[in-house]
Chain A
Amino acid sequence: AQSVSQHNHHVILSEAASLELGCNYSYGGTVNLFWYVQYPGQHLQLLLKYFSGDPLVKGIKGFEAEFIKSKFSFNLRKPSVQWSDTAEYFCAVNARAFGTDKLIFGTGTRLQVFP
């Protein structure tokens, strides 16, 4: 069965610090990869996605993620965080071989950014 691991459960940073959130998945076939963000009191929003092509994908709000197939990883990065980045971040994976749009979510990482 597919699973998604997010090793950082809670990250605390000061503004302007760099961010990297880990995401690993367990499926050997072709996958689609997503990062979603949930700001306090708001619904999930798509930050970025990877389907194919350039493994370095850029998303909204200065976020980017790199797909490393050999490591089954899709880590999220941002060079300089802002207070407004405080939110919950979820990595999600869809395995195309299952012929379904079903997403498997990681447990989430809570990011707190202090001014």
Chain B
Amino acid sequence: GAVVSQHPSWVICKSGTSVKIECRSLDFQATTMFWYRQFPKQSLMLMATSNEGSKATYEQGVEKDKFLINHASLTLSTLTVTSAHPEDSSFYICSAALWGTYEQYFGPGTRLTVT
């Protein structure tokens, strides 16, 4: 149980375009989903926390207009990287949690390369 999927697993896009990444909890309803960014050989940096049906809470330094997060249902959250630039190239990981359990289940990640 507690499986989280991400789609796509990797994506290459041109500078200036937008990319959408989906995060789904497959066998449970996630009241909260988290989006992280991981640079090579570094730790996970929390970008934002999203609760179903409400606006995402962004961490300090994360541009909310650039990284649009939508959490429309208890099983789906999306991250859209708008007007992507090469510096946005990274590994984006989502996780999902049941309310009050303090335990997160991680997706396999999405490798974004902006050319």
A interface footprint on B78-115 (CB within 8 Å = 1, 0 otherwise): 00000000000000010101010111111111000000
B109: contacting residue among A43, A45, A104, CB under 8 A: A43
Q: Judge whether A46 and B44 touch: CB under 8 Å.
A: no
Q: Judge whether B107 and A43 touch: CB under 8 Å.
A: yes
B interface footprint on A14-57 (CB within 8 Å = 1, 0 otherwise): 00000000000000000010101000001111100101000000
Q: Judge whether A90 and B108 touch: CB under 8 Å.
A: no
A27, B95: Cα distance in complex, Å: 23
Give the size of the chain A interface in residues (CB under 8 angstroms): 23
Question: A96 an interface residue at 8 Å Cβ cutoff?
Answer: yes
Within 8 A of A (CB), among B4-56: 32, 34, 41-46, 49
Question: A11 an interface residue at 8 Å Cβ cutoff?
Answer: no
Q: Judge whether B106 and A100 touch: CB under 8 Å.
A: no
Question: A107 an interface residue at 8 Å Cβ cutoff?
Answer: yes
Of B43, B93, B97, B105, most buried by chain A (CB within 10 Å of CB) is: B43
Given A102-B46, A103-B46, 8 further pairs, Cβ under 8 A: A36-B106, A43-B109, A90-B43, A105-B43, A106-B43, A107-B42, A108-B43, A110-B41
